[in-house]
Amino acid sequence: MLGPVSTGSALQRTLFQVLLHGGKFAADRLVGAFGGCFCLGLVCLRPVRWFSSFNYSFCLMRATLSSCLTAHALSWLQGCGPGMDECEPPGRGNSSESHNCAKSILTSDRLQIVVTLSEFFNETWEAANCANCLKNNSEGLSNSTEEFLDLFNKSLTCFEHNLQGQAIDLSPNNYTEVCKNCNETYTKLNDLYNHLQRINRQGGESAHSAHLCIDVEDAMNITRKLWSRTFNCSLPCSDTVPVIAVSSFILFLPIVFYLSSFLHSKQKKRILILPKRIQSNANLVNIQEKYS
Amino acid sequence: GELALPLTPSSFLRIGQLSNVDLNEDIHELETEVPRQRPNEIPHNEKLLSLKYESLDYDNSENQLFLEEERRINHAAFRTVEIKRWVICAMIGILTGLVACFIDIVVENLAGLKYRVVKDNIDKFTAKGGLSFSLLLWATLNASVVMVGSLIVAFIEPVAAGSGIPQIKCYLNGVKIPHVVRLKTLVIKVCGVILSVVGGLAVGKEGPMIHSGSVIAAGISQGRSTSLKRDFKIFEYFRRDTEKRDFVSAGAAAGVSAAFGAPVGVLTPGCISFQFFASMISTFTLNSVLSVYHGNAWDLSSPGLINFGRFDSEKMGYTIQEIPIFIFMGVVGGILGALFNALNYWLTMFRIRYIHRPCLQVVEAMLVAAVTATVGFVMIYCSRDCQPIQGSSVAYPLQLFCADGEYNSMATAFFNTPEKSVVNLFHDPPGSYNPMTLGMFTLMYFFLACWTYGLTVSAGVFIPSLLIGAAWGRLFGISLSYLTKGSIWADPGKYALMGAAAQLGGIVRMTLSLTVIMMEATGNVTYGFPIMLVLMTAKIVGDYFVEGLYDMHIQLQSVPFLHWEAPVTSHSLTAREVMSTPVTCLRRIERVGTVVDILSDTSSNHNGFPVVESNPDTTQVAGLRGLILRSQLIVLLKHKVFVERANLSVVQRRLKLKDFRDAYPRFPPIQSIHVSQDERECMIDLSEFMNPSPYTVPQEASLPRVFKLFRALGLRHLVVVDNRNEVVGMVTRKDLARYRLGKEGLEELSLAQT
């Protein structure tokens, strides 16, 4: 979380993928509403509302534009082949006919713009782990995501509710009301998030699937930032005295141990043995010479 | 002892056990040499040689039996011997790899369990208050685990203590350290290392792996185990010191490669191809088993117990301008390493002198474990360095008083097994650690590691050194980019690696093999040059102050260790001054009673006896005819190979070389052999069994010359003769090892009973 993945890309991909998997219907709607495809995604409906309230409109604009662009290209495809689904993913079609179709369109220009864009979206989609929030058939949000978003909404509402009247006040310790009143909702949200994360980590193997989808992560990040940084509701440092007492007791033990073993233990003595050798003066003389 | 002369205990003692071969003091010392009545007792110090250690014999006794056997074995048989050698090496590799896997998996699971329990506890008490209980829980868990580990080492097999590298070094040098390659030692070593790593001590499991590999090699190559009292009747050809040593070095190689995933790491000049084979097999075995364990069977991504992770050339490459910086880091590493060794020296001396009772040793280990946990806890508690969780690189993130979604960055270093901490320090992205955190961590861990090494637990010093070095190296990298205002874009991970190399080089002072090991562990050949530079600088700087940790411990254990060369400035000493004299000789045809008496004389526990011509009239010179070993005499007495019996022509089997091999390596003591009064009067003919061509030197040979012959051939006894081929003395390991180059010139160590 708080990671480098930009929310804009995630949204782009969300829109795109939903449209794609939604099939003809969604594509039609998109193409039909080229100028105003602002709120056409099935999933993006909610994020649009949330994020617009958090000044995410820039990302959203970009997301929408890109989605429309790609969708346009796809609709073009659709008119040519036996169906968009078979042309998709680009360049990986099964039947030779649709393959040819895809090829002729996808590779027609120097940039291969459709392929490039599609790859970009695919990568971003993977990186953002969007599939994680969707049902298996990508028809909509999974139950756990729904639940999470519900709680998220509740928390935000709670924050908003409790902040009324003191929203402009910036002094740090003025949010105790929020901390107290929203603690329950927030804790629930946090626990659910941790729970989802744990399930996810157990299920997946690769590094990517350790993450939840970016929308959920971002939502949680915003809440946590608000909670910990803005409202300063995180746990205060406590127990200093007992910790110091216990640790100094433990640190004191070795000193006692070493002192007592130094004082009470009998020092180990070695018995010297003198081997029988020729103790000639030559030995000594030699060494004397060397050092003189 | 193998000194071939009667050691009269209390008659010839003098006060100056150490004759500093230096200035006038020496004369003074000799003049004041007066016979003392009571045995001379001194506190333990580093200038002693223990009588406990004997030499291994790498010289084949080329007696008639051996020659006969050699003649019988035809060419094809030698080829099977060759094949057997490879088979043994493969087995050594596989078993070492499996042992490494076992250690790794058990440590991972047990440590994971411990950290989870403590983490849950801390999380619970952070919210509710009462963190002192978590501290107590952590300290108690650590102490109790370490207690078990220390108990088994202290009471069952003390030789399994420590990293085992000094012991193996001594063994390969030719010193027989009792119990060092027994199966029992292996079991204790493996359990001990698991327990001490799980117990959270500042230790690593890599050094013990080398010892384990050696034990496995010694066991397999002999085809039997004395601990299990089983003889599998295989590989009997290899039952001699020479062969065993070769296999032990192959086992050590396999251990190194299993530990670091560095199969080429031990290619020392004396290395043979089959050692390389063993180490390749070992790392492959470890890799495949661990890959299967981690669920990606065909991946082969964990070649060693510690993997430094990938160091990409593009991301973490170095430039020529950075090389002086690396050299400077080498200097720092050398100084810090010397400090580490000096502190550890005093501590070890204190331990040998005062903490020699096993129960005290166990208590000490427990205290260290508890203090390690406490220090870790207090550091984590006091740290205000919170970092956002990125991915899943942190195994057990402790939040404590950090904001939600962040973790305490001190905990990544302390609340983790040392291996993982090292890898984190190498690879965490820039900005993951606060300089203050790193500084405190380095300081604390330095003292903890120094305090821990030398405890009666089996554990290595490689990983702690790497960790200390990585911490200050990273700190160095961060401050460098801070000082230059970011004009050098320095990835702190690169400096962490160099710091680790510098610290390790400063502590253990191995240059060549460490370079190769580090290079292989990073998997990037371009790092070879800077690592070599850093290690060399660290070694040179460190050697200026004190010697390496392993050499220091070998010395403190009073082991008669022979270095490659005789000490410089020793040319003026001749064999005459070095040798022990007079020598207990046997005649070629000797009375059984005399042999038994000589062997059972406790004051002269000699091992080799020159055999001289048994001429009845004393006018003629008794020239040297051969050399016979105690073990051979015992086998002869046991089988009652007496001249009279042969004459009686009882249907007696001729003694074969096999009879000697079967007794190897632990020959029965002389007390267990019963010789009746009648038999004492019999005669025994040694000419068939003695080595008829022992190595000899004239009296005038200089010490370096004697040393070279002795060391290069791996001898145990070197007879000194005069120009009439009469035995005048005997040079053994302890006679040579007692000369050492000290601070004030050539020093002479004294012998002591320990």
Q: What are the Cα distances from residue A84, in Å, to A88, A94, A102, A107? A: 6, 12, 10, 16
Residues pairing with B386 in the sheet:
B408
Of B48, B573, B752, the CB nearest to A286: B573
Q: Using the beta-carbon criterion (under 8 Å), do A246 and B132 form an inter-chain contact?
A: yes
CA angle B77, B82, B88 (to 5 degrees): 120
On chain A, the residues whose CB falls within 8 A of the CB of B127 are: 235
On chain B, the residues whose CB falls within 8 A of the CB of A278 are: 576-577, 579, 581, 729
Average pLDDT, rounded, for chain B: 83
- How distant is the Cα of A65 from the closest Cα of chain B, in angstroms? 30
Helix (H, G, I), strand (E, B) or coil at B739: strand
Taking CA–CA distances from B133, the nearest residue in chain A reads A243
Is the confidence at residue A4, as pLDDT, over 50?
no
Q: What is the amino acid identity at position B457?
A: V
Range scoring the smallest mean pLDDT among A67-71, B384-388, B534-538, B722-726? A67-71
**Cβ distance B372 to B201 under 8 Å?**
yes
Most confidently modeled range among A29-43, A117-131, B266-280, B458-472: B458-472
Is the confidence at residue B266, as pLDDT, over 70?
no
Instruction: Tell which wins on pLDDT, A101 or B743.
Output: B743
Query: Given its phi and psi angles, is residue A138 left (phi above 0), alpha (psi -120 to 50 degrees) or beta?
Result: left
Range scoring the smallest mean pLDDT among A130-139, B214-223, B467-476? A130-139
Name all contacts of B133-140 with Cβ < 8 Å and 24+ positions apart: B134/B377, B135/A243, B135/A246, B135/A247, B135/B373, B135/B374, B135/B377, B136/A246, B138/B200, B138/B373, B138/B376, B138/B377, B139/A250, B139/B369, B139/B370, B139/B373, B139/B374, B139/B377, B140/B370
Q: What is the amino acid identity at position B688?
A: E
Taking CA–CA distances from A282, the nearest residue in chain B reads B577
Is the confidence at residue B420, as pLDDT, over 60?
yes
Residue B66 confidence (pLDDT): 84
CA A193, CA A206: separation in Å to the nearest integer?
20
Mean pLDDT on B588-592? 86
- How distant is the Cα of A211 from the closest Cα of chain B, in angstroms? 7
pLDDT bin (cut points 50, 70, 90) of residue B638 is confident
Q: Using the beta-carbon criterion (under 8 Å), do A261 and B354 form an inter-chain contact?
A: yes
Mean pLDDT on B24-39? 42
Mean pLDDT on B504-517? 86
Interface with A, mutate which of B120, B310, B404 (most A CBs under 10 A): B404
CA B198, CA B176: separation in Å to the nearest integer?
32
Q: Using the beta-carbon criterion (under 8 Å), do B44 and A280 form an inter-chain contact?
A: no
CA angle A9, A25, A32 (to 5 degrees): 75
Residue A252 confidence (pLDDT): 93
Only one residue has tokens 């401050």, namely B479
Q: Using the beta-carbon criterion (under 8 Å), do B26 and A276 form an inter-chain contact?
A: no
- How distant is the Cα of A8 from the closest Cα of chain B, in angstroms? 20
On chain A, the residues whose CB falls within 8 A of the CB of B752 are: 270-273
First to last CA, chain A: 75
Q: Which residues contact A49 (CB under 8 A, 6 or more apart)?
A: none
Residue B650 confidence (pLDDT): 52
Is the confidence at residue B483, as pLDDT, over 50?
yes
Residue B488 confidence (pLDDT): 60
Of A3, A267, A273, the CB nearest to B43: A267
Closest CA to B253 of B396, B97, B373: B97
Of A201, A250, A269, the CB nearest to B374: A250
Of B26, B572, B576, the CB nearest to A289: B572
Of B405, B582, B745, the CB nearest to A224: B405
Alpha helices, DSSP H only, in B202-272?
A: 206-222, 241-260
The secondary element (H helix, E strand) that includes residue B407 is strand B406-408
- How distant is the Cα of B516 from the closest Cα of chain A, in angstroms? 30
Q: What is the DSSP secondary-structure string of chain A?
A: ---S--HHHHHHHHHHHHHHHHTHHHHHHHHHTSTTGGG--SSTHHHHHHHHHTT-HHHHHHHHHHHHHHHHHHHHHHHHSS-HHHH-STT--SSHHHHHHHHHHHTSSSS-HHHHHHHHHHHHHHHHTGGGGB-TTSSSB-HHHHHHHHHHHHHHHHHHHHHTT-TT---GGGGHHHHHHHHHHHHHHHHHHHHHHHHHHHH--SSGGGS--HHHHHHHHHHHIIIIIIS--SPPP--HHHHHHHHHHHHHHHHHHHHHHHHHSPPPEEEEE-------HHHHHHHHHHH-
- How distant is the Cα of B355 from the closest Cα of chain A, in angstroms? 7
Residue A191 confidence (pLDDT): 86
Q: Which residues contact A61 (CB under 8 A, 6 or more apart)?
A: none
CA B184, CA B225: separation in Å to the nearest integer?
9
Mean pLDDT on B32-48? 65
- How distant is the Cα of A261 from the closest Cα of chain B, in angstroms? 6
Q: What is the amino acid identity at position B612?
A: V
Instruction: Tell which wins on pLDDT, B749 or A82.
Output: B749
Of A257, A265, A278, the CB nearest to B581: A278
Q: What is the DSSP secondary-structure string of A225-268?
A: IIIIIIS--SPPP--HHHHHHHHHHHHHHHHHHHHHHHHHSPPP
Instruction: Tell which wins on pLDDT, A100 or B355.
Output: B355
Cis ω before B9 (30° cut-off from 0) = no
Chain B 292-321, residues with CB within 8 Å of chain A CB atoms: 295-296
Q: Using the beta-carbon criterion (under 8 Å), do A190 and B404 form an inter-chain contact?
A: yes
- Strand ranges in B582-738 using DSSP code E only, listed in sequence order: 586-587, 589-591, 608-612, 624-629, 683-685, 696-698, 717-721, 727-732
B327 shares contact with chain A (CB less than 8 Å)? no
Mean pLDDT on B377-394? 77
Q: Using the beta-carbon criterion (under 8 Å), do B580 and A276 form an inter-chain contact?
A: yes
Is the confidence at residue B508, as pLDDT, over 60?
yes
Chain B 561-580, residues with CB within 8 Å of chain A CB atoms: 569, 572-574, 576-577, 579-580
CA B494, CA B477: separation in Å to the nearest integer?
8
Residue B400 confidence (pLDDT): 77
Chain B 98-137, residues with CB within 8 Å of chain A CB atoms: 125-127, 129-132, 135-136
Q: What are the Cα distances from residue B81, in Å, to B75, B77, B87? A: 10, 6, 10
Interface with B, mutate which of A208, A211, A232, A247 (most B CBs under 10 A): A247
pLDDT bin (cut points 50, 70, 90) of residue A180 is confident
Cα-based torsion angle of the residue sequence A94, A98, A99, A100 in order, rounded to the nearest 10 degrees: 160
Q: Using the beta-carbon criterion (under 8 Å), do B30 and A279 form an inter-chain contact?
A: yes
Taking CA–CA distances from A206, the nearest residue in chain B reads B296
Tokens of A23: 């099939």
pLDDT bin (cut points 50, 70, 90) of residue B444 is very high
Range scoring the smallest mean pLDDT among A191-200, B36-45, B508-517, B730-739? B36-45
Residue A29 confidence (pLDDT): 38
**Cβ distance B423 to B417 under 8 Å?**
no
Query: Given its phi and psi angles, is residue A91 left (phi above 0), alpha (psi -120 to 50 degrees) or beta?
Result: left
- How distant is the Cα of A154 from the closest Cα of chain B, in angstroms? 18
Percentages (nearest 5) of helix, strand, coil residues in chain B:
55, 10, 35
Residue A258 confidence (pLDDT): 93
Q: Using the beta-carbon criterion (under 8 Å), do B44 and A221 form an inter-chain contact?
A: no
Residue A259 confidence (pLDDT): 93
Q: What is the DSSP secondary-structure string of B419-467?
A: HHHHHHHHHSPTTSS-HHHHHHHHHHHHHHHHHHTTSSS--BSHHHHHH
B596-627 pLDDT, tens digit per residue, is 888 888 777 788 899 988 665 656 667 888 99
Of A271, A278, A290, the CB nearest to B41: A271
Closest CA to B88 of B228, B222, B261: B222
CA B576, CA B582: separation in Å to the nearest integer?
11
Average pLDDT, rounded, for chain A: 62
Mean pLDDT on B745-750? 82
Q: Using the beta-carbon criterion (under 8 Å), do A246 and B26 form an inter-chain contact?
A: no
Cis ω before A89 (30° cut-off from 0) = yes
Residue A173 confidence (pLDDT): 54
B48 shares contact with chain A (CB less than 8 Å)? yes
Taking CA–CA distances from A261, the nearest residue in chain B reads B354
Q: Using the beta-carbon criterion (under 8 Å), do B13 and A272 form an inter-chain contact?
A: yes
Instruction: Tell which wins on pLDDT, A278 or B25.
Output: A278
The secondary element (H helix, E strand) that includes residue B471 is helix B462-483
Residues pairing with B388 in the sheet:
B406
Q: Using the beta-carbon criterion (under 8 Å), do A262 and B354 form an inter-chain contact?
A: yes
Residue A104 confidence (pLDDT): 65
Interface with B, mutate which of A202, A276, A285, A292 (most B CBs under 10 A): A276
Is the confidence at residue A5, as pLDDT, over 70?
no
B44-81 pLDDT, tens digit per residue, is 888 888 888 888 888 888 888 888 887 887 777 778 88
Model pTM score: 0.80
For chain A, how big is the Rg over CA atoms in Å?
34
Residue A106 confidence (pLDDT): 61
- How distant is the Cα of A11 from the closest Cα of chain B, in angstroms? 20
Tokens of B717: 């006894």
Of B360, B381, B569, the CB nearest to A243: B381
Mean pLDDT on B720-725? 88
**Cβ distance B141 to B117 under 8 Å?**
yes
- Strand ranges in B484-600 using DSSP code E only, listed in sequence order: 586-587, 589-591
Q: Using the beta-carbon criterion (under 8 Å), do A291 and B22 form an inter-chain contact?
A: yes
Taking CA–CA distances from B573, the nearest residue in chain A reads A283
Task: Go through B194-224 and write b for each residue having 16 or more CB atoms within 10 A of its CB, e for each that does not.
Answer: bbbbbbbbbbbbbbbbbbbbbbbbbbbbbbb
Residue B85 confidence (pLDDT): 86
Q: What are the Cα distances from residue B251, in Å, to B219, B254, B263? A: 10, 5, 12
Q: What is the amino acid identity at position B94?
A: I
Helix (H, G, I), strand (E, B) or coil at B406: strand
Instruction: Tell which wins on pLDDT, B528 or A208.
Output: B528
Q: How far is CA B188 from the centre of its chain?
A: 16
Percent of chain B with pLDDT over 70: 89
pLDDT bin (cut points 50, 70, 90) of residue B641 is confident
pLDDT bin (cut points 50, 70, 90) of residue B365 is very high
On chain A, the residues whose CB falls within 8 A of the CB of B402 are: 234
Query: Which sign, positive or negative, has the C-alpha torsion A116, A120, A126, A131?
Result: negative
Name all contacts of A21-26 with Cβ < 8 Å and 24+ positions apart: A21/A137, A21/A138, A21/A139, A22/A139, A23/A84, A23/A85, A24/A78, A24/A83, A24/A84
Count residue pairs from A and B with Cβ separation < 8 A. 193
Is the confidence at residue A170, as pLDDT, over 90?
no
